[in-house]
Amino acid sequence: MSSDGGLRYRLTRWLLGKLVVPRVAGFESLSGHETVYVLQNRSVTDTALLSLACAQAALPDPLSSLPLGDVTEAHRYFFLNRATGWQQRQTMRSHSEFMRRLLANPAAMSSDALIVPVCILWSRAPAREHSFWRLLVSEAWAVTSRFKRLLNILMNRRGISLQFGDPLPLCQAADPELPDGVRLRRLARLMRVRLRNERIAALGPDLSHRRTLVEQIAGARAVQSVITRQAAGDVGKAAALRRRAHGIARTIASDMSYPTIRVLERLLTWFWTRIYDGVEITGMENVTAVAASSTLVYVPCHRSHLDYLLLSYLLFHRNLMLPHIAAGDNLNIPVLGSVLRRGGAFFMRRRFAEDDLYRTVFSEYLYQVYRRGYSVEYFPEGGRSRTGRLLPPRTGLLRMTLTDQARGLPKGITFVPVYISYEKLVEAASYLDELRGAAKRGESMSDVFRGLRLIRQNFGKVQVRFGQPLRLTDWLLEHNRQQGEAALAQQLAVELMERINAAVHVNAVNLVALVLLATPRLAIEASVLNEQIALHSALMRRAGYDVVEWHNEDSLQHVAGLQLVELETQDFGSVVSAGAVAAILLTWYRNNVAHTLSLPSLIACLLVNRRRPLAPDSLASVVDAIHPYLATELALPVHSPSLDSVLAHMCELGIVLRTAEGALEPPREDTADHQRLHLLAQVVMPSLERFYIVLGLLNREDQPLNRRSLQERSRAVAKRMSRLYGLNAPEFFDAGLFNQFVDQMLKRDALREDMDGNLRPAESTRQIARAAGTVIDPDFLRAVRRG
């Protein structure tokens, strides 16, 4: 760089450092490597911004020297496009001399240096048709001019972002088998493709004007076919149906607005910093690996209204395209609905299977969103979970997505499961009322103003984990498409729910809830709780789950500071306890993560009260009979992990013993290890007790039961048992869980329905019921048998 150029560069970098706060992403995998940066166009401003980003990410500066064998290059960056002609237009007609030297250097073949494409976005606003001002300041798809950059520096200095793209090892680029010219052209082409993919992943396609999209949807062939069929030749009715189709499309369609998104981003930054100690993200590499080549569909668990705000906020800050979010029409209320729509929400009725026109318009809208390359977000559960566990999936949107994939899309669908872990739930008060029997309250603007009071409270930390993506084309190759769309959608839904749960993060409140709710009087010595948490954490980590580090006193103080438990000091030591009301809320946090201990807890249930050793084969047969029902309820793969490996780990931890003959037995009752095994058993005990209620009623000979009467009787018994035995779990008598259990029994031929509609248990079911008698508390068994 010449002296004049060097002075201009230093001045530009100094000014940018004072004015611009770029968002930097994609640098995590580059640490520890020599890097060579690739920029699209020759620009002092871009180079200076790259220098600032490298300093922020602790990467080598682009103007720092690059040692390569016997040669040391003066800098480590080059441009793909060169300015030519009197107008200094950026073209691809010549290649950088630095790039030529880099590939010709004999040391390149053995170098571990990475060639990194760097995508700089001076604005995150995609272009919109018929919007001159947006075209003036948006990144669009043309080269960003100096005037646009000046505008963005002055007006959008916090909206400038820089993305380090997918790197290419220098040794691969410097293939000696290829002629020099071919190597140059190949590297330039690869870098252009990767830079373009990064821009697509960040900006998405140009936004169509909403009116244009509505016209296109209402005029689609499928929509017109429904109108023609329903009008049946009546011209007036056809006109009315066309007007209704336009109205439906307008009610559904989002109207994403970058100014609104910028305002929301600033408000949410303020809001998150007021109520949370931090928001942590893991698994983002799973998203960036597929973002450029796929149409992404984010499928998060749904625990709070903050889920979609939080996810969009994080994607925006990581330079990824904002998704269009499916929202229930209960949120389409004055003011709030408009803001959400401009933030990317599209609204849908809860149920519309019987409205053929609405269903067709909505399906066409979703297809157009996919076809244009937008990412989408929807919740497979359909609504927020009030119990803390994943709800049975709704398959309506998944069925439409399968249909749209079959129609053909420029880029295939890839689902991204997302798990969101809250240490303290913002909606805790309303959930508590609903868990105690209150009716669900409708949404209103007053909820927004009431929510402002939240800034006075501390809600701990939030962990957002992106799970293993599912490429729909690959998944379809492994599954039988002939079984019908409904069955295929159900299988897809089940696998997505399993992947969401596999991405779980177990936080400090989850760990405390698992132990505290296992105690008979909701109180435990702090030292015993710490030991039990260490046991649970070890079992979870061995199974591959992500668990927070527990630091005894500090972690206890943190949970107590969230006002979810009480910590008191007695003469004999510290005691952790919870009141009756807090215990109901703690069930929500326990249910978040109960699946992580399902198999060890079931083993503990089967062994803890044994008087005689149990042969491993006998244990395996009972586990094989019971665990699939637990797996279905807790959204786990039915094929459980190796029983032998889990047993071996439990033996290492000292909570299961092996006799000289190889049989299994619990520790002595007067030992701390036996207490730990007992507390572990309580994690799935409520599920086993609920199962036994159904089995006990089915195995009574006095009166046959059909499905409806079984559900009513089971729920009534469960409600009575919950009250009499102090079971602090409102979902214990949830009708949906009883239905799910009966469905699985019918599916597995453990039950059959006779000609009169009565349910008849198989002999295997009677054996399971008898085996349960050795696990469940005798008083509970007697109370169930009394019906």
Is residue 35 a contact partner of residue 60, using CB atoms and an 8 Å limit? Answer: yes
Q: Is 50 exposed, middle or buried (0-12, 13-18, 19+ CB in 10 A)?
A: buried
Q: What is the pLDDT of residues 560-582, one digit of tens each?
A: 999 999 999 888 889 999 988 88
Whether the per-residue pLDDT at 641 is higher than 50: the answer is yes
Coil, strand or helix at 181: helix
Q: Which of 323-337, 543-557, 716-730 has the lowest mean pLDDT?
A: 716-730
Residue 140: what pLDDT? 44
Name the average pLDDT for the chain: 85
- Going by C-alpha positions, the residue among 275, 280, 304 that lies closest to residue 458 is 275
Q: How far is CA 596 from CA 25, 214, 599, 601, 704, in A?
A: 32, 46, 8, 9, 37
pLDDT exceeds cutoff 80 at 212: yes
Strands 161-164 and 413-422: unpaired
Q: How far apart are CA 681 and CA 6, in angstroms?
A: 70
What per-residue confidence (pLDDT) applies to 5? Answer: 58
Cα(626)–Cα(775) distance, integer angstroms: 12
Q: Give the per-residue pLDDT at 646.
A: 95
Cα–Cα distance between 463 and 614 in angstroms, integer?
A: 41
pLDDT at 116: 94
Over 50: is that where the pLDDT of 343 sits?
yes
Tell me what the mean pLDDT of segment 454-464 comes to.
86
What does the pLDDT read at residue 25?
Answer: 86
Q: Which residue has the tokens 């007007």?
A: 243
Query: How would residue 135 be classed by pLDDT, with cut points 50, 70 and 90?
Result: very low
Q: Give yes or no for a contact between 400 and 363, defined as CB atoms under 8 angstroms apart.
A: yes
Q: Which residue has the higher pLDDT, 786 or 457?
A: 457
**HEC assignment per residue over 305-350:** CHHHHHHHHHHHHCCCCCCEEEEEHHHCCCCHHHHHHHCCEEEECC
For the cut 60, the answer to whether the pLDDT of residue 378 exceeds it is yes
pLDDT at 448 over 50: no
Task: Answer whether residue 778 shows pLDDT above 50.
Answer: yes
Report CA-CA distances (Å) from 170 to 57, 167, 338, 378, 725: 21, 9, 49, 40, 68
User: Which residue, among 497, 305, 532, has the nearest Cα to 389 in the 3D structure?
Assistant: 497
Across residues 480-491, what is the average pLDDT?
A: 85
Distance between alpha carbon 718 and the CA centroid of its chain, in Å? 33
What is residue 146's predicted lDDT score, i.e. its pLDDT?
A: 58
What 3-state class would DSSP assign to 672?
Answer: helix
Q: Is the pLDDT of residue 466 over 80?
A: yes
Q: H-type helices in 507-633, by residue range?
A: 508-516, 526-542, 552-561, 580-593, 598-607, 616-633
Tell me what pLDDT residue 134 has: 42
pTM score, whole prediction: 0.83
Across the range 331-358, mean pLDDT stands at 89
The pLDDT tens digits of the residues spanning 346-371 come to: 999 988 888 999 999 999 999 999 99
Report the b/e string of 524-534 with b at 16+ CB within 10 A.
Answer: bebebbbbbbe
Q: What is the pLDDT of residue 224?
A: 95
Higher pLDDT: 387 or 508? It is 508
Question: pLDDT higher for 762 or 395?
Answer: 395
Chain centroid to Cα 397, Å, comes to 17
Residue 461 has pLDDT above 70, yes or no: yes
The winner for highest mean pLDDT among 34-38, 260-264, 636-640 is 34-38
pLDDT per position as a tens digit, 193-209: 888 888 877 776 655 56
Is the model's pLDDT at 157 over the cut of 50?
yes
Q: Does the pLDDT of residue 17 top 90, yes or no?
A: no
* Residues above pLDDT 90, as percent of the chain: 47
pLDDT of residue 356: 94
DSSP secondary structure, 367-385, as one string: HHHHHTT--EE--TTSS--
For residues 105-116, average pLDDT:
89
pLDDT of residue 131: 43
Question: What's the rounded mean pLDDT across residues 456-468?
Answer: 92
Which of 111-125, 398-412, 636-650, 691-705 reaches the highest mean pLDDT? 398-412
Burial environment of residue 232 by CB neighbours within 10 A (0 to 12, 13 to 18, 19 or more): exposed
Band of residue 133 on the pLDDT scale cut at 50, 70, 90: very low
Binned at pLDDT 50, 70 and 90, residue 397 comes out as very high
Would you state the pLDDT for residue 532? 97
Where does the pLDDT of residue 557 fall: very low under 50, low under 70, confident under 90, or very high at 90 and above? very high
Segment 131-149 mean pLDDT:
47
The answer to whether residue 479 scores a pLDDT higher than 70 is yes
* CB contact set of 743 (below 8 Å; sequence gap of 6+): none
**Res 750 pLDDT > 70:** yes
Shortest CA distance to 432 belongs to which of 324, 537, 538, 587?
A: 587
- The two tokens of residue 480 are 């039988």
